[in-house]
Structure 1
Amino acid sequence: MAEAEQRNRPPGPRGHWLMGNTPAYDDDRIGFLRRTHGEYGDVFAFDERTVFVTDPGTAHDVLARTNTDFLTELAPFDARPDLGDAAAEAGAWMSARRTVWPGLNHTAAAAADARTVELLDELARPATAAEVDVLPLARAFTAYAVAEYCFGRDAAGLPELLADNLDITEPFTASSYQFPAWLPLPRHRRFFRVHRHTVRTLTGLVRRRRADIRPATPRDLLDFMLDADPAMPDGTVMATLRGILMGGHGIPAAAIVSIVRELALRPELVADLRAEAGDALPAARLPLAEAVVKEVLRLYPPVWLMTRTARTPTTLADWPLNPGDEVLLNPYLIHRDPRWWERPDEFDPGRWLTGRPAPRMAYLPFGAGPRVCVGSALAMRQLTLTTSRLAQAYTVESPNAASAAPRFHGRLAPAGLRARLAPTGRCPVTGAH
């Protein structure tokens, strides 16, 4: 990086004369970030438009200024985004968040407990007979769970649509090289085709439901949103539900794969979880299961990088940023930093059971600030129940749990984890022997 640039940008590696740091980053993403963090510190430049942050205070500052100085991750292919339009969309989303929040809080999430456990048992059946790839199973479970939570009786076909949406993003997360949207590449055509189909499908469901006779009490999140006063436009309802569906599918699915891995490696922990669950689920409180989830999200945050885009000329830890500059926050390294955590690389759910608060600024599994994950309560409840039920009803057997390393593409999860869920004898849902 030239001396003149260094005065206006954080320090960072020079990289290849033509390709910059992208080849080294794509070859070993977390290794590159660890090395660069060690050499250049908590804030370092990747290129002339991209800065990485591994300091919790700076990360919180960026997250707190989202919607004012920063915008959330922009749409794919938006190489020259209209930041004004993006800011207007952010304002509409914040209004929708305030409306939908009561439909996703702890009380509302707990109402789905019984169905969550039932769905897990139904979709786990193939894994009771033979060893399976855990990620597709976890994705199927979270797709059905979030689709039913949002659309209830109208959820048919949505899990498959969610799977298509995940599939179309995989080619883009595997490489940092991006091609213009106008290039007629097969992956581009499929991306836009699936996107259009998703918008049409969800818009049709919203419009048909609005035309129905309204029930006395909401039966799902769509009912809750259609009962809002003042009424939300159909497009806003659709866009809000689309965001919740996407976030409530791939992210918790990745976390479940990490949970399965830990259960396969720790039979003593499984025994303790089984004792906590007793003979029936759902249960009012599951502190150990919740602690396991929190520890998994600390060590293996599915959203291991968060992107924010500078909306206006602003600063980052005293460094100037221009509109359109990207800031990448790294919860994975923050969660494993010995400055904030004791024994940071050790899996220890007990750290969440001591009564001592965790270092709040250094724990970011759901983000922070005005754009903190709107579905965090629902996700925590779903993951806690899943952890408890897996321990209660199954023995997790995995031939490669010890060797399944995290994959730092897209959502963080152990790559290629395989497992069998051997039933313990408890009947689905009721917990009876």
Structure 2
Amino acid sequence: MARRETLGRPPGPRGHWLTGNTRAYEADRIGFLRRCHREYGDVFSYDEQTVFVIDPDLAHDVLARTGHGFVTELAPFDMRRDLDEAAAQATAWMSARRAAWPGLNRSAAAASDDRTVEILDSVLADTAGRETDVLTTMRAFTARAIADYCFGADSAGVPVLLDEIIHATQPFTESSYEFPAWLPIPRHRHFFQAARRLTDVLTGIVRQRRASRATAAPDDLLGSLLDAEPAMPDDTVASTLHSILMGGHGVPAAALTSVVWQLARRPRVAGDLRDEADRPTGDDALSTTAPSAAAPSAAARLPLAEAVVRETLRLYPPAWLMTRTAGTATALGDWSLDPGDDVLLNAYLIHRDPRWWRRPDEFDPDRWLTGRPAPGAACLPFGAGPRVCLGSTLAVRQLTLATSRLAQRFTVESPNAFSVVPEFMGRLAPAGLRARFAPVRR
């Protein structure tokens, strides 16, 4: 059958003559996208340079072609849209990914189980049973957990810097407007200062560790990177760790906030998780004995906890929008793109599409326990293709252990669990969720 001719730009709403679609989008982001999806289909134009995709096969096509045809989201303030530089950085990052993988695979992730649980216990103990902002608490946990994973005993001070950079980038995720980097406004100064401090601290840790390197086997990710062959320059090691720290902080924190939200609203699920954690296999999973290199997956030991995590990631994917930029003139299905066009892949709507999922808006962890829940292309919590999240194995393992521990040790009491709504800004999470973690009485 002959292939249809490429049609040009996808259709889309015209918007206001001056502000385009920005005001409508900012007023209700997911509502705007739902309306456009109904009216224009799975691919539609937002403006002359931005296209949204709500089709799993096309999303996978874009993700699979990242590195040749598409580049990842351009850096903040990249007003010149230097696509050649972005492609060069992508090539360098692929090399760094290969070097980092041995320190992030299943066996390496399993070795951090005990520390994950210890850190969560410590963070929740700090709340002393008081009502807290859940996202703030989960960020405290994930910042400490990923810093410890990367740097071990050298991680002191890194979690504070991660929190600072999250707050410095928040104004940019909340607005669709971009301003030139040279504009001396407070949010620019704050961002550059926070980014510089984090880079300086990471580079300092790398140099100090290399200078005092012993012959012992690496017991954290930094040690693994320093043992990589061929040897990586200090700045490459630091930038690789920077990417992993950022990915291992914001996304898991948002995901855990949504998990807490579900536990507060679904006491029966929390009770089932507690029963699973209290069974012998659960005790083994949350023991104080370090797992062996051949430790089973978290799913094998805590299948319900992992199912709850995966169902939460389906309904509330923290990376609800993923951006790729066309590096060259290329096709997207039956549509054409110009170099520099941004393609936004909407995992949230793909995950809730009845074409791919049964009862798509229903929270049902059992769908993950009874076989394949949906076509693989329709599940994108960590992306796909050559640039799939490098830390996805570690993230799912830590989220599973944290979910099980929360249910095992605490009852989640939230005054607003039934009134909060998801916030479609940077990382998707319920806005303003508050809770008290009350110790379970034995």
Tell me the TM-score normalized by structure 1.
0.95
CA shift, 1:181, in A, is: 1.1
Identify the residue that residue 79 of structure 2 maps to in structure 1. 79
Identify the residue that residue 345 of structure 2 maps to in structure 1. 329
1:397 is aligned to 2:401? no
Structure 1 residues 141-180: aligned runs within 5 Å: 141-180=141-180
The amino acid of 1:87's aligned partner reads A
Q: Encode CA deviations 1:388-424: one digit per residue, 9 max, x unaligned.
A: 0011000111111111100001000000000011101
Contact 1:135 1:257 in 2 (8 A): yes
CA shift, 1:215, in A, is: 3.7
SS of the counterpart of 2:45? strand
Q: Encode CA deviations 1:281-322: one digit per residue, 9 max, x unaligned.
A: 427510000000000000000000000001111111121111
Contact 1:352 1:358 in 2 (8 A): no
Identify the residue that residue 295 of structure 1 maps to in structure 2. 311
Q: Encode CA deviations 1:354-402: one digit per residue, 9 max, x unaligned.
A: 0235320000000000000000000000000011001100011111111
SS of the counterpart of 1:61? helix
Identify the residue that residue 292 of structure 2 maps to in structure 1. none
CA shift, 1:7, in A, is: 5.7
1:315 is aligned to 2:331? yes
Identify the residue that residue 209 of structure 2 maps to in structure 1. 209
Identify the residue that residue 108 of structure 2 maps to in structure 1. 108
CA distance in 2, matches of 1:350, 1:366: 21
SS of the counterpart of 1:385? helix
Identify the residue that residue 137 of structure 1 maps to in structure 2. 137
Identify the residue that residue 286 of structure 2 maps to in structure 1. 282
Identify the residue that residue 342 of structure 1 maps to in structure 2. 358
Aligned pairs, how many?
421
CA distance in 2, matches of 1:355, 1:332: 22
The amino acid of 1:360's aligned partner reads G
Q: Which segment is superposed worse, 122-131 or 161-170?
A: 122-131
1:351 is aligned to 2:367? yes
The amino acid of 1:374's aligned partner reads L
Q: Encode CA deviations 1:316-365: one digit per residue, 9 max, x unaligned.
A: 11211111110000000000000000000000000000023532000000
Contact 2:367 2:373 in 1 (8 A): no
SS of the counterpart of 2:412? strand
Identify the residue that residue 231 of structure 1 maps to in structure 2. 231
CA distance in 1, matches of 2:111, 2:37: 44
Contact 1:126 1:132 in 2 (8 A): no
Structure-2 change in CA distance of 1:293 and 1:378 (3 Å)? same
Identify the residue that residue 27 of structure 1 maps to in structure 2. 27
Q: Which segment is superposed worse, 177-186 or 125-134?
A: 125-134
Q: Which segment is superposed worse, 54-63 or 187-196?
A: 187-196
Contact 1:128 1:423 in 2 (8 A): no
Contact 2:7 2:336 in 1 (8 A): no
CA shift, 1:214, in A, is: 2.3
The amino acid of 1:375's aligned partner reads G
List, as ranges, runs of 4+ consecutive aligned residues in structure 1 with deviation greater than 3 Å: none
Contact 1:276 1:286 in 2 (8 A): yes
Contact 2:7 2:334 in 1 (8 A): no
Q: Encode CA deviations 1:179-231: one digit per residue, 9 max, x unaligned.
A: 11111101111111111111111111111111013242111000000011111
CA distance in 2, matches of 1:357, 1:347: 13
Contact 2:202 2:238 in 1 (8 A): yes
Identify the residue that residue 387 of structure 2 maps to in structure 1. 371
Q: Encode CA deviations 1:30-74: one digit per residue, 9 max, x unaligned.
A: 000000000000000000000000000000000000000000011
Identify the residue that residue 121 of structure 1 maps to in structure 2. 121
The amino acid of 1:217's aligned partner reads A
1:185 is aligned to 2:185? yes
CA distance in 1, matches of 2:215, 2:200: 25
Q: Encode CA deviations 1:90-120: one digit per residue, 9 max, x unaligned.
A: 1110011011112111111111111111111
SS of the counterpart of 2:426? coil
CA distance in 1, matches of 2:152, 2:258: 28
Contact 2:10 2:43 in 1 (8 A): yes
Q: Which segment is superposed worse, 401-410 or 208-217?
A: 208-217
1:67 is aligned to 2:79? no
Identify the residue that residue 53 of structure 2 maps to in structure 1. 53
The amino acid of 1:96's aligned partner reads A
CA distance in 1, matches of 2:255, 2:215: 35
Identify the residue that residue 90 of structure 2 maps to in structure 1. 90
CA distance in 1, matches of 2:375, 2:93: 29
Q: Encode CA deviations 1:150-177: one digit per residue, 9 max, x unaligned.
A: 0111100000000011001111111101
